[in-house]
Amino acid sequence: TTQRPAYYKGHFRIIHMFDPHYLCVPSLHVIIVVLAYTFYRKAFTELGMPQDEADILNRELFDGAVAITETVLYIKQHSVNCIPAALYAMTRITPEEVTPSEVVRFIGTLFESSATVEKKDVLAIREHILDMYESLFLQGCHDDNWITPLQRWLNAYAAAGFLN
């Protein structure tokens, strides 16, 4: 697994006792919330839900997915690398629902309304997530298996001494 950022461990002891952060690249938390909002967006269309109602629900689900994605960093469940890995995985697993433009939109809303993260840090976080996503996506264009770019990245990360 990748290293969590530095933090005061006492504040998160219970969370980390029950969610030890093993084998989590890509982040299953992020995969699940992205899958949920894209699944329901598609379901609302297929069910013929009135557009105004679908728009309200889609916005709520999207905003919830963004909030949960931010939260995995706030409570130190994941490193910032786990997010682009998850977004890349969803692009490859459900390419019609999670397109690169959808991922760019998602990344662009991360920490949009944060009162605790400075603007320069928001931009740095988004840039890192987008750069890693693009790298994985471009590498994945040449691989039959979506896992291969993640494996290459993890091997390089381990060789640099960053894995726990």
Residue type, 149: P
**So what's the pLDDT on residue 28?**
85
**So what's the pLDDT on residue 154?**
85
pLDDT tens digits, residue range 43-100? Answer: 999 999 999 999 999 999 999 999 999 988 876 656 788 899 999 999 999 999 999 9
Domain boundaries, the chain: 13-159
Contacts of 45 (CB under 8 A, 6+ apart): 54
Which residues are bridge partners to 2 per DSSP? 163
Residue 107 clears pLDDT 90, i.e. is over it? yes
pTM for the structure as a whole: 0.84
Among 97, 87, 110, smallest CA distance to 27 is for 87
| Helices 28-46, 51-74: crossing angle, 10 deg rounding | 180
Distance CA 164, CA 158 (A): 9
